[in-house]
Amino acid sequence: MASGIAPRRAPAETTGMCALAGGRFLMGTDDVQGFPQDGEGPIREVDVAPFLIDAHAVSNRAFAEFVGATGYVTEAEQFGWSFVFEGLVAPDNREHTVGSVPSTPWWLAIQGACWRQPEGPGTSIDGRDNHPVIHVSHNDALAYCRWAGKRLPTEAEWEFMARGGLEQKRYPWGDELMPEGQHRCNIWQGEFPTRNTCEDGYMGTCPVDAFPSNGYGIFNVSGNVWEWCADWFGIHHPAPVPADPTGPSGGRGRVMRGGSYLCHHSYCNRYRVAARTGNTPDSSSGNLGFRCALSV
């Protein structure tokens, strides 16, 4: 379906996007809390050109407009299932489980789960228009971007944006997870995966504009949902780094950044701005979304 979606004929809508001047920044980290095996380091100087990027992740409302205009069918809908966190699956929907991953048994493959039915049959996005769209693959995100006349951000652009003008801080707001005892992102509290105290106010996704923005006016780049980037995933970085790097020329997975509502320091401390992971382009889950960028 993705290859059949044409871009809008009208110019791309830039309302809700932030214009970033670009420049040189220190990308990556050697943080002791990090995961060197993910290729977070070494710290390296990177130059990015000016660009525009969504202040928020793409919402259910925006994705529904795209589907309404194009008839697009996501890959999760074509496959007939997607991964849902077990704690969000109602007892009646357990019968729709068609598989799981032994290494991460809290992920259930639920028949019928998709962006319209985030937790499976009988669920909906009613009341969640302003939450990020989920259960979208990299290919789905590209289809949306083409229709909107935009693109996915490169990984370098994403990290430049997420840092909000701060240099080598752990989070978009600084080095302290909860400054003055205030929650600044939607992540897991309690004991993962058995008990979430929801002290930040959310069990699953939160609105795309929840919590304060960073220094660039960007919302929710830590936690809530992972976000697809344009780059193929790789753990080795060229030195020196070329201007506006676009990652490896190929690979098995695409880069995902930002962490999600399921991240916890004991298991997935990847809500730090330098944290990264990857997944196959056709993968989808209940904690994976995206935001768009635009060259200037």
Q: Is residue 95 part of a domain?
A: no
pLDDT at 1 (0 to 100): 44
Indicate the residue type of 56: H
Instruction: Write the CA distances from 96 to 51, 80, 91, 92, 118, integer angstroms.
Output: 43, 11, 10, 8, 13
Q: Is residue 129 part of a domain?
A: no
Count of alpha carbons within 13 Å of 242, Cβ hemisphere only?
A: 5
Can you give the CATH number for the domain in which 252 is found?
Answer: 3.90.1580.10
pLDDT at 4 (0 to 100): 53
Candidates 251, 211, 208; CA nearest to 231 is 251
pLDDT at 267 (0 to 100): 85
Domain tally, the chain? 1
pLDDT at 8 (0 to 100): 76
pLDDT at 9 (0 to 100): 58
pTM score: 0.96
pLDDT at 2 (0 to 100): 45
Q: Is residue 252 part of a domain?
A: yes
Tell me the mean pLDDT per 10 residues along the chain, length 296: 58 95 98 93 98 98 97 98 98 94 94 98 98 98 97 98 98 97 97 96 98 98 98 96 96 98 93 98 98 97
- Which structural domain range is residue 44 located in? 20-58+136-295
Given strand 17-20, what is the order of strands in its sheet? 17-20, 51-54, 293-295
pLDDT at 6 (0 to 100): 62
Instruction: Pull the structure tokens for residue 190.
Output: 């309690």
pLDDT at 228 (0 to 100): 99
pLDDT at 49 (0 to 100): 98
Q: Is residue 85 part of a domain?
A: no
Q: Is residue 125 part of a domain?
A: no
Q: Is residue 94 part of a domain?
A: no
Q: Which single residue is written with the structure tokens 């220190």?
A: 26
Q: Is residue 255 part of a domain?
A: yes
Q: Is residue 104 part of a domain?
A: no
Q: Which single residue is written with the structure tokens 């002791």?
A: 32
